[in-house]
Chains A and B, each alone.
Chain A
Amino acid sequence: MTPNAVMDVLQVTVLVLVAAGATLVVRTRDRVRLVLVLSAYGMLLAICFFTFQAPDVALSELTVGAIALPLILLLAIAKVRKPE
């Protein structure tokens, strides 16, 4: 396989995974689990950007999508959750 063909296969694979991941995020109902799935999805998106040769966007997505956003959401959930 030529390097180009390898890249094509990689890109298509990652795009399919991203579509599946997005569906999973939407289908998740439990809030805490949703945040974890969202974080994994951010990681997946970062890999997607990386395979499309945008390492700077991948880094930003990794830091914001996989770290900062889930962290803020988790804290917000902890704040509003009713004591059991």
Chain B
Amino acid sequence: MTPRQRLCLFAVAAAGLAACYLWAFAGLPGFGSYPGPYGPAIMSRVIAQTNATGAVSAINFEYRGFDTVGEEFILFTAAAGMSVVLRRLRGEHEEGAREGQSSAPGAAASRQVPATSSSVRVVSLLLVGPTAVIGWWLATHAQANPSGGFQGGVILATAFFLIYLSGEFLAFRRLSPVALLDVAEAVGAGGFVAVGVTALGMSLPYLYNYLPLGTIPGAVSSSGTIALISFLVGIEVAAAFVLIIGELLDQSLLRREGSS
């Protein structure tokens, strides 16, 4: 096949694709139009049924709560897998290059971590408090606005990374012991399932909203299991992210070498 033939073939194929694409494009529904029945059906019932003004959270944690369990366990499995793959193996010992000081001369010295500049330290330390508050607020207000445990959890975890960024690797490690993270992650993930299974024990469908819905729509005390599950997801996600990043930090900062 000569280049010229190839070009002709391409031109024919490209013209065909362009024609089909434009044809399909012309048949699309108008921009922003939503012909499906589910959106309006949920929007007209959500506050009466769940007392949650955050309709997205109501869908995530109640109407489609079953999907969300699966999604949560994706992250849980990822964090667990990471811990297993990056665990300290027998025969490995740590050679630290921490906090800007290298303990081992020679090879480790070339990986010395530069000292954190004071402007980075100050900004990170100033941001720790507000970040933690915003994360907590997002994780506990899923019923009121389109936030939720997932976003809140990641931002809560960010507060821990800011502590690390301010040069306090040891403080970061002391604040997030792996054993505690494991427990928090398990409680978060297991709590979600437990909330659902409890409904089965009460002869209700799985993940049925059996808690009192409260009186004020969107208040922290409203929406029953939606707020509870969102909070549990927040704990799980925060723990999982601190665990994953902590493992990676260990990998980057500590040299592990086989002694055998």
Q: Which label, helix, strand, loop or mixed, suits the secondary structure of the B interface?
A: helix
Q: Which of A56, A62, A71, A75 contacts B251 (CB 8 A)?
A: A75
**Contact, CB under 8 Å: A64 / B110:** no
Q: How many residues of B contact A (CB 8 A)?
A: 22
On chain B, the residues within 8 Å of A68 by CB distance are 154, 241
Residue of B nearest to A77 (CB): B252
Structural contact, B154 and A63, CB atoms closer than 8 A: yes
Report B-chain residues with C-beta under 8 Å of the C-beta of A56.
56-57, 146-148, 151
A25 at the interface (CB under 8 A from B): no
Using A60-B150, A83-B111 as known contacts, say yes or no to A75 and B245 having CB atoms under 8 A apart.
yes
Select which of B57, B110, B111, B158 is within 8 A of A67 by beta carbon. B158
Per the 8 Å Cβ criterion, residues 32-83 of A in contact with B are: 55-56, 59-60, 62-64, 67-68, 71-72, 75-76, 78-79, 83
Least Cβ distance of A5 to chain B in Å? 14
- A60-B248 CB under 8 A given contacts A55-B146, A67-B158, A83-B111: no
Interface string of B21-53 (1 = CB under 8 A from A): 000000000000000000000000000000000
Query: Could you say which of A59, A71, A75 contacts B147, with CB atoms under 8 Å apart?
Result: A59
Is the beta-carbon distance between A75 and B252 smaller than 8 angstroms? Answer: yes
**How distant is the Cα of A68 from the Cα of B158 in the complex, in angstroms?**
8
Query: In angstroms, how far is the closest chain A Cβ from the Cβ of B171?
Result: 18
B146 touches A59 (CB 8 A): yes
Q: Other than A56-B148, A59-B151, give 18 A-B pairs with Cβ distance below 8 A.
A: A55-B145, A56-B57, A56-B146, A56-B147, A59-B138, A59-B146, A60-B150, A62-B151, A68-B154, A72-B244, A75-B248, A75-B249, A75-B251, A75-B252, A79-B248, A79-B251, A79-B252, A83-B111
Among B110, B151, B245, contact of A60 (Cβ-Cβ < 8 Å): B151
Q: How far is the CB of B129 from chain A (nearest CB, A)?
A: 17
Q: Which residues of A contact B146 (CB under 8 A)?
A: 55-56, 59
Q: Which of B233-260 contact A (CB under 8 A)?
A: 241, 244-245, 248-249, 251-252
The chain A residue with its CB closest to the CB of B157 is A68
**B231 contacts the other chain (Cβ, under 8 Å)?**
no
Q: Report B102-114 CB contacts with A as 1/0, cut-off 8 Å.
A: 0000000011000
- Whole-angstrom CA separation of A79 from B97 in the bound complex: 13
Report if B213 contacts A (CB, 8 A): no
Residue pairs across A and B with Cβ atoms less than 8 A apart, 25 shown, are A55-B145, A55-B146, A56-B57, A56-B146, A56-B148, A56-B151, A59-B147, A60-B151, A62-B151, A63-B150, A63-B154, A63-B155, A64-B154, A67-B158, A71-B161, A72-B244, A72-B245, A75-B245, A75-B248, A75-B251, A75-B252, A76-B248, A79-B248, A79-B251, A83-B111
B residues within 8 A CB of A72? Answer: 244-245, 248
Please measure, in the bound complex, the distance between the C-alpha atom of A71 and the C-alpha atom of B147, giving whole angstroms: 22
Q: A59-B146, A79-B251, A83-B110 are in contact. Are A71 and B245 (CB under 8 A)?
A: yes
A79 to B244, CA, bound (A): 14
A66 CB to closest chain B CB (Å) equals 10
Complex CA gap A67/B155 in Å reads 9
